[in-house]
């Protein structure tokens, strides 16, 4: 705290990202990164871009990338917004599409950045409790609201909401923007982008940090009605005209164009997840059904915080949240097979 801080800064409660440890020997299963590298085509495209053109600003609209995303999903590029990670895209959405008198709704257990954005932009919100099996029940969102947002699959639970339920929610809330945050959808969900032409109030966000293994590049996107996209462009052009650098534009576009590599690595992560779920269950864990690149698990006889500390002593890091309803759970990222094995070996000594 300093006397130079504005009252606004004094009152902020910032998001705390998962630890990025300096020790490279750790088995890092705490921030849902992809154990497989990015597409070789993405790397090659970025290497080719590493030249004298870096003296020039990038395309402020990232058209090359927007077109690659539009082609991938069969939409128009006017329906696509791109930004510096989906966190930035989400920030613009909160700023531009949720600032209304009524509360924003999101689940009680969800991505913990949402309340932080509400604090940053002064947006009132109410949380809606997940059901007893940690699932979103769309009927519970039938109350006055200034917008709705949830990840699908949800984070940190991994539970998936079917598209048919999302469509019911959109129809019940025609005057609110409904944002489906699909950070993890490629690991077992179906994208709601197929619904954007029918629902002008739907905005879908995605990231290249997880299924496309480019967390270090910082690229995220939103797809929706051109008028929703225009609101985001207005915010972006009032904040930072060039959120994506030259490397990010070509690397992300090439990642979208390399469908075969993407599909193969997603399949590998899904297969590892199914194997890991079986092994955790054999150790006595209850594991929520996951459609993501992580699992959310609790052990009836072991304290989760103690387990996380015990794992850490053995060089394995997972994520533990202190929120009351989920404090007995661990969120475990699906790693490469040898990382998952190291986790199971370490847990076997603790359970």
Ligand X SMILES: Cc1ncc(COP(=O)(O)O)c(C=O)c1O
Contact footprint for ligand X (CB under 6 A): 32, 85-87, 111, 151, 155, 181, 183, 207, 209, 215, 220
How near is the Cβ of 296 to ligand X at its closest, in Å?
Answer: 12
**Residue 75 or 214 having the CB closest to ligand X:** 214
How near is the Cβ of 181 to ligand X at its closest, in Å?
Answer: 5
**Residue 77 or 110 having the CB closest to ligand X:** 110
Is the separation of the CB atoms in 30 and 318 below 8 Å?
yes
Tokens 């008028």 -> residue:
227
Is the separation of the CB atoms in 75 and 193 below 8 Å?
yes
**Residue 248 or 346 having the CB closest to ligand X:** 248
How near is the Cβ of 351 to ligand X at its closest, in Å?
Answer: 27
DSSP state of 133: T
> How far is it, in rounded angstroms, from Cα 164 to Cα 189?
12
**Residue 138 or 183 having the CB closest to ligand X:** 183
How near is the Cβ of 161 to ligand X at its closest, in Å?
Answer: 13
> How far is it, in rounded angstroms, from Cα 2 to Cα 280?
47
Distances (CA, A) of 275 to 44, 209, 304, 333, 344: 33, 23, 21, 13, 11
How near is the Cβ of 118 to ligand X at its closest, in Å?
Answer: 15
**Residue 240 or 281 having the CB closest to ligand X:** 240
How near is the Cβ of 301 to ligand X at its closest, in Å?
Answer: 29
How near is the Cβ of 252 to ligand X at its closest, in Å?
Answer: 11
Nearest Cα to 107, choosing from 50, 146, 152?
Answer: 152
From first CA to last CA, the distance across the chain in angstroms is 43
> How far is it, in rounded angstroms, from Cα 184 to Cα 38?
16
> How far is it, in rounded angstroms, from Cα 66 to Cα 78?
8
**Residue 32 or 339 having the CB closest to ligand X:** 32
**Residue 332 or 347 having the CB closest to ligand X:** 332
DSSP 181-200: E-TTGGGT---GGGGTTT-T
């Amino acid at each position: 705290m300093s006397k130079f801080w504005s009252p606004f800064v004094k009152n902020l409660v910032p998001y705390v990202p998962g630890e990025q440890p300096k020790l490279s020997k750790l088995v890092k299963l705490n921030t849902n990164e992809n154990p497989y590298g990015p597409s070789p085509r993405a790397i090659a495209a970025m290497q080719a871009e590493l030249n004298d053109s870096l003296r020039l600003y990038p395309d402020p609209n990232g058209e090359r990338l927007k077109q690659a995303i539009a082609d991938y999903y069969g939409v128009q590029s006017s329906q696509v917004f791109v930004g510096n990670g989906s966190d930035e895209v989400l920030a613009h959405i909160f700023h531009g599409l949720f600032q209304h008198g009524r509360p924003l709704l999101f689940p009680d257990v969800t991505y913990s950045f949402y309340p932080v954005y509400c604090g940053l932009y002064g947006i009132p919100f109410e949380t809606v409790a997940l059901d007893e099996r940690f699932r979103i029940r769309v009927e519970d969102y039938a109350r006055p609201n200034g917008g709705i947002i949830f990840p699908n699959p949800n984070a940190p639970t991994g539970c998936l909401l079917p598209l048919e339920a999302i469509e019911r929610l959109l129809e019940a809330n025609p005057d609110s923007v409904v944002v489906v945050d699909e950070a993890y959808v490629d690991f077992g969900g179906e994208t709601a982008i197929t619904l954007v032409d029918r629902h002008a109030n739907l905005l879908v966000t995605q990231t290249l940090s997880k299924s496309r293994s480019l967390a270090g590049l910082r690229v995220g996107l939103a797809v929706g009605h051109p008028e929703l996209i225009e609101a985001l462009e207005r915010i972006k052009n009032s904040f930072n005209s060039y959120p994506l650098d030259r490397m990010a534009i070509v690397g992300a576009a090439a990642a979208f164009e390399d469908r075969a590599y993407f599909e193969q690595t997603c399949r590998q992560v899904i297969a590892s997840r199914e194997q890991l779920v079986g092994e955790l269950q054999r150790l006595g864990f209850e594991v929520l059904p996951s459609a993501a690149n992580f699992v959310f698990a609790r052990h009836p006889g072991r304290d989760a915080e103690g387990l996380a500390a015990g794992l850490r002593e053995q060089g394995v890091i997972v994520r533990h949240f202190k929120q009351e309803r989920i404090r007995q759970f661990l969120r475990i990222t699906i790693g490469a097979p040898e990382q998952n094995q190291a986790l199971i070996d370490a847990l076997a000594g603790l359970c």
